[in-house]
Structure 1
Amino acid sequence: MSTDQDSDRYRAPALDKGLDILELLAGVDGGLTQAEISKRLDRSPNQFYRMLDRLVKRGYVTRIDGDRFTLTLKLFGLGQLHAPIRRLASFSVPPMRELAEKTLQANQMTVFDRGYPVVVAQQEAPGYWGISIRVGSRVSLLDTGAGHVLLAFCNQSDRTMMLAENLGSASHESVTPELFERLDQIRNRGYEMMPSAQTAGVINLSAPVLSADGRALAALTIPYITLINTPGAPDMTKTIQLLLETVATLSELAGARVEE
């Protein structure tokens, strides 16, 4: 039996149809209607109705502008949780430990996954006091330093998809113009500094671990607390400087890994 015949023997038409849709949408900006998808794949529209419905319900595709379909970041998120992110978390351990020792503060690394920043690594403070978040925890995209950094350091299409995944069926009008202005400010200065919306007295200091093209692979955050009667504890200005030095090191390491 020839290779082509053997391949046809084990075909899965429904799976092929779903993959055809994903591959088509991956190469299109602005999404496509069901009719446009059918035309480009040279099949009748009713062949795709149920498949599109399932892809939307499983979170791989979303509707925009009422009748247009576009990819979400779910596939990207699944890829992020694969080996590259495990490597990122692994080689980040020594710099994160050194940062904790120099600042006397805890720190954690987050990546974007299916609508939310997710903690993939964390380093506890070396002293008695610090704010720790469990690895695997999901945090808010819209009112945390990590979320703001991940949104600030990405291109427009990625930001649109990230917001769509986070907000679901909610209108993007719920995202205020002030937030977009803040994201521009964060990108210009290179980090976010904001009071925690979850814990009183904590200032979130967040900065991006960047890829070679300037997009955030991850956000590194120090939940800064003022340490009283603690000799050698750096102030917030010095802590921000140490944070920026650490993400610069991590970005260089990430770039080196990408080139390999």
Structure 2
Amino acid sequence: MDDSEDERYRAPALDKGLDILELLAGVDGGLTQAEIAKKLDRSPNEFYRMLDRLVRRGYVTRLDGDRYSLTLKLFGLAQLHAPVRRLVSYATPVMRELAETSQQANQLVVFDRGSAVVIAQQEAPNYWGISIRVGSHISLFDTGSGHVLLAFRSQEERQMMISEHVRSTDKAAQPAEFFARLDQVRDRGYEMMASLQTAGVYNLSTPVLGPDGRAIAALTIPYITLVNAANAPDITLTIQLLQGAATRLSRLAGSDVPQSS
């Protein structure tokens, strides 16, 4: 398409909105309306309505009253497209093998528009196991998957994810100790916590990392003690099996994490 054709099919309002999104994507800490206008060499009044619509649609958020920053909505939309389908297709045989070796159910969880969402689930091979329905929305604050999705993100991304979660669930923001817990999870490489939803269950969760080292998903086992199962792995060995499976998925996703032992 030549320049004349390009001009013929211009959509000025759409161009303006995309200019804002592309600008904010490359800025940490957000920009004021005046700063946006200056960087795009336009009048501040031109952007008022567009910024208002982007905020109302959830693509942009206001920080401290007068600064605008991207939310993770675009990230969430991308998660629902082909990359997630590919991730599920890669994950299915790995998750099936993990269920067989651990004798436990497992699930794959991603962040999407304020919630942790189960995108794949593998049942335990034997009679007993804890299953969570694909499509279920679970909490970022009181689940192993939620902790891992937050822990393996930057501080700014954590805050945006939490802000979206609070808005979508009406849950209260978390105290400082919660962020210390996330740092511990990151240092340890996995989360292990008693389930706050089901007695006798331990959430074991570890990240699936992308090429940039950030969590694109959490692989989680809701671990239950199998009393009568022969040769069932204990919780320590189960964590090792879980980490090995997550490492395989991370490498399939393009991460250069070393192979787990």
TM-score under structure 1 length normalisation: 0.92
SS at match of 2:7: helix
Q: Is 1:214–2:213 an aligned residue pair?
A: yes
Other-structure match for 2:59: 60
Other-structure match for 1:139: 138
Q: Please list the CA deviations of residues 127-179 of structure 1 after superposition, one character each: whole Å capped at 9, or x if unmatched.
A: 11211112222111111101110111122232222222222399999321111
Other-structure match for 1:223: 222
Other-structure match for 1:241: 240
SS at match of 1:220: strand
Q: Structure 2: give runs of 5+ residues left out of the alignment.
A: 257-261
Q: Residues 19-168 of structure 1 correspond to what in structure 2 (within 5 A)?
A: 19-168=18-167
SS at match of 1:174: coil
1:69 partner letter: Y
Report the Cα distance in structure 1 between the residues aligned to 2:198 and 2:35, rounded to whole angstroms.
48
State the shift of 1:66 in Å.
1.4
Q: Percent identity?
A: 70
Q: Structure 1: give runs of 5+ residues left out of the alignment.
A: none
Asked whether the equivalents of residues 106 and 131 of structure 2 are also in contact (C-alpha less than 8 Å), the reply is: yes
Asked whether the equivalents of residues 163 and 172 of structure 1 are also in contact (C-alpha less than 8 Å), the reply is: no
Q: Is 1:253–2:252 an aligned residue pair?
A: yes
Report the Cα distance in structure 2 between the residues aligned to 1:249 and 1:42, rounded to whole angstroms.
47
Report the Cα distance in structure 2 between the residues aligned to 1:195 and 1:145, rounded to whole angstroms.
9
Other-structure match for 1:196: 195
SS at match of 2:253: helix
Q: Please list the CA deviations of residues 203-256 of structure 1 after superposition, one character each: whole Å capped at 9, or x if unmatched.
A: 110001112332112100001112222222221111111111111121122227
- Aligned in 2, Cα 1:183/1:164: closer, same or farther, shift over 3 Å? same
SS at match of 2:19: helix
SS at match of 1:79: helix
Report the Cα distance in structure 2 between the residues aligned to 1:147 and 1:172, rounded to whole angstroms.
14
Asked whether the equivalents of residues 212 and 255 of structure 2 are also in contact (C-alpha less than 8 Å), the reply is: no
Asked whether the equivalents of residues 164 and 172 of structure 1 are also in contact (C-alpha less than 8 Å), the reply is: no
Report the Cα distance in structure 1 between the residues aligned to 2:230 and 2:246, rounded to whole angstroms.
25
Report the Cα distance in structure 1 between the residues aligned to 2:192 and 2:69, rounded to whole angstroms.
33
TM-score under structure 2 length normalisation: 0.92
Q: Please list the CA deviations of residues 7-54 of structure 1 after superposition, one character each: whole Å capped at 9, or x if unmatched.
A: 222111111111111111111110011121122222222221111111
